[in-house]
Chains A and B, each alone.
Chain A
């Protein structure tokens, strides 16, 4: 019997010990389009302020859902404004947050694709006419803001219904970019920030969709109620020139 009690005690202490490590770096949850950009900013933050933050990426919708379910994030960087409003209404945030950038979308095609992005949406329409359209990647509009922007732009051009049977839906902006760039689809509409990332840029060509073609992708961030001083500092750091320069380099329009 003693063995069983000893095992139970071991399990309990192990679970408790693993659950509460002392003084860990705050967790920052961010929309997937920020993947390379925010990692660079976090590295600069570590260099300038000697403070670490942990980064978790996902679709804004998924991260919002996880916050509702009690996820231990201290700062949330959404790829739009509605999810932040939703969290603020639920009383989970400190305030209504701050706008850190405006996102853009691009039409991307990998090298060797029959789709030529430089022709814009006309090229997309022509490809549909020729019947050489295989698969076209966008992020899932249900919970990924970049998917919503893609949907709005395609609807405005009357291409949405024609493309419907051709879509592959990425779970978030990064997965959509992965689908669009690896040659398994003719291309897709992906985040400008990802098209500019060192990993994707060499994979193909893109055309920047004019920002008049879709509602603006206002990127809002917000501190959660449990946020500590390091998360707070990072929140302010993101609005300072060093971080803004990196965001700009990844194609975000910086709000005034």
Chain B
């Protein structure tokens, strides 16, 4: 059992949730409540990591991160290290890969709120920000919770993108899913089997949690 790899996976999972869920709240809310030109394209862009092979994402990210790209150069100037094959780079990559898992459930959560509720709040003179925090977020709660759990679980399960932009560095970019591949190639079937079982348990737990909580919590009364 590679404990460091488990640590990297957990940090990456928490980090991705921390980055994506606030962003998902903003984007999901915008998509659910506004009509604008190019909305269809934006929604397609959010969903595209679902259908793209990880190699396509990995290829573009690697090019974008590369030491010769503007993003890679800027990061290297600030942090003193390359973005590719580093933990921050991995965090960014997994945020892109998990984007639909955060945005879509949140968007559905907001869309489920009846228009009259929003209008009533506006009518009473509630400023938009308070309306968002006091009325809409509590009502969209099951969607937000689903987004948190799915983002975390999907990040732990990510493999292809991480293999391409991470570089399998112990303690930094070797996640549990990569460690399984690594152990397999080192002919350590016992180690690989143990870690595979851990990931299976985490995935099952996460999905059970979303189903059960989604049913029990229901929309919270704000």
Q: Which residues of A contact B (CB under 8 A)?
A: 1, 4, 7-8, 10-11, 14-16, 18-21, 24, 27, 32, 35-36, 54-58, 66, 69-72, 172, 174-175, 177-178, 197, 199-200
The residue in A18, A24, A55, A197 that gathers the most chain B C-beta atoms within 10 A of its C-beta is A18
Q: Which residues of B contact A (CB under 8 A)?
A: 11, 15, 18-19, 22, 62, 65-67, 72, 76, 79-88, 91, 129, 167-171, 182, 184-188
In the bound complex, residues from chain B placing their C-beta under 8 Å from that of A7 are: 18, 22
The residue in A20, A54, A66 that gathers the most chain B C-beta atoms within 10 A of its C-beta is A66
Question: What's the least CB distance linking B52 to chain A, in Å?
Answer: 20
In the bound complex, residues from chain A placing their C-beta under 8 Å from that of B65 are: 69-70
Q: Is A200 touching B187 in the complex (CB atoms < 8 A)?
A: yes
Additional pairs, 19, CB under 8 Å, beyond known A11-B19, A15-B91, A199-B186: A1-B129, A14-B15, A16-B88, A18-B15, A18-B88, A19-B81, A19-B88, A24-B171, A27-B170, A54-B169, A56-B167, A66-B167, A69-B82, A69-B84, A70-B83, A71-B82, A71-B84, A72-B82, A199-B187
Q: Is B186 touching A35 in the complex (CB atoms < 8 A)?
A: yes
Question: What's the least CB distance linking A185 to chain B, in Å?
Answer: 16
Which residue of chain A has the shortest Cβ distance to B67 in the bound complex?
A: A70
Given A19-B81, A71-B85, A72-B169: A57 in contact with B182 (beta carbons within 8 A): yes
In the bound complex, residues from chain A placing their C-beta under 8 Å from that of B91 are: 15, 18
Question: What's the least CB distance linking B199 to chain A, in Å?
Answer: 20
In the bound complex, residues from chain A placing their C-beta under 8 Å from that of B88 are: 15-16, 18-19
Q: Is B85 touching A72 in the complex (CB atoms < 8 A)?
A: yes
Question: What's the least CB distance linking B189 to chain A, in Å?
Answer: 9
Question: What's the least CB distance linking A22 to chain B, in Å?
Answer: 13
CA distance A153 to B46 in the complex (A): 50
Q: Is B168 touching A54 in the complex (CB atoms < 8 A)?
A: no
Q: Is B169 touching A57 in the complex (CB atoms < 8 A)?
A: no
Q: Is A178 touching B81 in the complex (CB atoms < 8 A)?
A: no
Q: Is A32 touching B185 in the complex (CB atoms < 8 A)?
A: yes
Question: What's the least CB distance linking B119 to chain A, in Å?
Answer: 24
Question: What's the least CB distance linking A74 to chain B, in Å?
Answer: 12
Question: What's the least CB distance linking B96 to chain A, in Å?
Answer: 15
Per CB-CB distance, the 3 closest pairs between chain A and chain B, nearest first, are: A70-B82, A199-B187, A70-B67
Q: Is B85 touching A69 in the complex (CB atoms < 8 A)?
A: yes
Q: Is B81 touching A18 in the complex (CB atoms < 8 A)?
A: no
Which residue of chain B has the shortest Cβ distance to A66 in the bound complex?
A: B167
In the bound complex, residues from chain A placing their C-beta under 8 Å from that of B85 are: 66, 69-72
Query: Contact partner of B87 among A18, A32, A58, CB < 8 A?
Result: A18
The residue in A4, A19, A72, A200 that gathers the most chain B C-beta atoms within 10 A of its C-beta is A19
